[in-house]
Amino acid sequence: MKSFSAKNEQLAALLSDLAHPACEHGIPTDWLCIDNDAQAVELTFPFAIEKSSLLNAINDDAELRTWTWTIKFQVQRLANSKPDQPMKTGNVIVVSSGKGGVGKSSVSASLGIALSRMGARVGLLDADIYGPSIPTMLGQPDHKLEVKNDKFQPIQYEDLVANSIGYLVDDNDATIWRGPMASRALQQLFNDTDWGLLDYLIVDMPPGTGDIQLTMAQQLPVTGAVVVTTPQNVALKDAEKGVGMFERLEIPLIGVLENMSYFECGHCGTQSHLFGQGGGLKLAHRHAVAELGQWPLTPEFGAQLDALQKQHQLELTEIQRHTAQRVVAELYYLKSHSAKN
């Protein structure tokens, strides 16, 4: 293919105006490779991309749709908090909350599944030592881990690979562990799992901001963090502590995700804000980070996660897929922007 800089700039400007989370920070011209003769464009992203929604947005633009588009991605491995360690697990994204009960684990599972359905190689580490719920959410609560070549073999859900303390010990045993024991267990899960070659590893952290959470965040080669909250004042106060923890550890905060933002009536479509309104957005603005989404309280999705044996694929909403796209796009922008500065 031939590249023409003037046309690159024109198309890059049009793409940057699209209402799509992958384009919010603009499209550099060097992501485009143009064949003018064939009226064809190859667009390659450095992060996972939901191709169908982007192509839909392109086809809604009168000028962009006159070209034939090939959308690709090659995930770039970004700098993390442990630059001396080999980057075995791609970009490590920790999902945290200041308190329990805000849906952090369901957010972690949703993000992992959404990214893997985009075609990215994704792992999910259930580091919630005191309340591992990923085994139930992925439909394999009684699975026994296999060990090959001294490595745990992760379970697989669709194309997602996952591991959890819930596969190793009884729930009641883990709840009485002291901090150092819990931290060692996390290190073992992270280091001794045969993850394969990953683009992203999503880590479902224990709730809270105490010594255990600090130690875990410091031990892992973290690329960026997501803080989950609900609109309630008590949850927001604890989420504020989570934001402060990552700021002190100098771990880039990708953004704040507000879960259980509202309940939408299935009959009339009326939205009821059961736990307050707009708190997550205010928290994000206060710390100058992205507001990654406002997820509704969805009983149907909760019922799917609670099913002990998955008979069907988890049905992710457009909002969940949109958030997953924003997370990886914001992560890339944060890291590439800080590297230039």
- Portion of the chain with pLDDT greater than 70, in percent: 88
Segment 255-272 mean pLDDT? 79
- Cα-Cα-Cα-Cα dihedral sign, residues 218, 325, 304, 311: negative
Better-predicted residue by pLDDT, 279 or 60: 60
In this predicted structure, what is the pLDDT of residue 1? Answer: 41
As a whole number, the mean pLDDT across the chain is: 85
Please, which pLDDT band fits residue 37 given cuts at 50, 70 and 90? confident
Other beta carbons within 10 angstroms of residue 274's beta carbon come to: 14
Mean predicted confidence (pLDDT) in 49-73: 96
Q: How confident is the model at residue 296 (pLDDT cuts 50, 70, 90)?
A: confident
- pLDDT value for 180: 65
Confidence of residue 49 (pLDDT cuts 50, 70, 90): very high
Q: Angle 66-333-61 (CA atoms, 0-180°, nearest 5)?
A: 15
pLDDT on residue 34: 92
What is the average pLDDT across 85-97? 87
Query: Terminus-to-terminus CA distance in the chain, angstroms?
Result: 33
| Per-residue confidence (pLDDT) for residue 194, from 0 to 100 | 95
Confidence of residue 2 (pLDDT cuts 50, 70, 90): very low
Q: What is the 3-state secondary structure (H, E, C) of the chain?
A: CCCCHHHHHHHHHHHHCCCCHHHCCCCCHHHEEEECCCCEEEEEECCCCCHHHHHHHHHCCCCHHHCEEEEEECCCCCCCCCCCCCCCCCEEEEEECCCCCCCHHHHHHHHHHHHHHCCCCEEEEECCCCCCCHHHHCCCCCCCCEEECCEEECEEECCEEEEEHHHCCCHHHHCCCCHHHHHHHHHHHHHCECCCCCCEEEEECCCCCCHHHHHHHHHCCCCEEEEEECCCHHHHHHHHHHHHHHHHCCCCEEEEEECCCCEECCCCCCEECECECCHHHHHHHHCCCEEEEECCCCHHHHHHHHCCCCCCCCCCCHHHHHHHHHHHHHHHHHHHHHHHC
Task: Band the pLDDT of 224: cuts 50, 70, 90.
Answer: very high
Is residue 90 pLDDT above 60, yes or no? yes
Q: What is the rounded average pLDDT of the residues 9-20?
A: 94
Residue of 232 and 157 predicted with greater confidence:
157
d(CA 243, CA 213): 12
**What is the pTM for the complete model shown?**
0.91
- The answer on pLDDT for 179 being more than 70 is no
Greater pLDDT, 282 or 201: 201
CB 305 within 8 A of CB 272: no
Nearest to 114 by CA among 338, 335, 295: 295
Res 3 pLDDT > 70: no
pLDDT of residue 160: 96
Q: How confident is the model at residue 236 (pLDDT cuts 50, 70, 90)?
A: confident
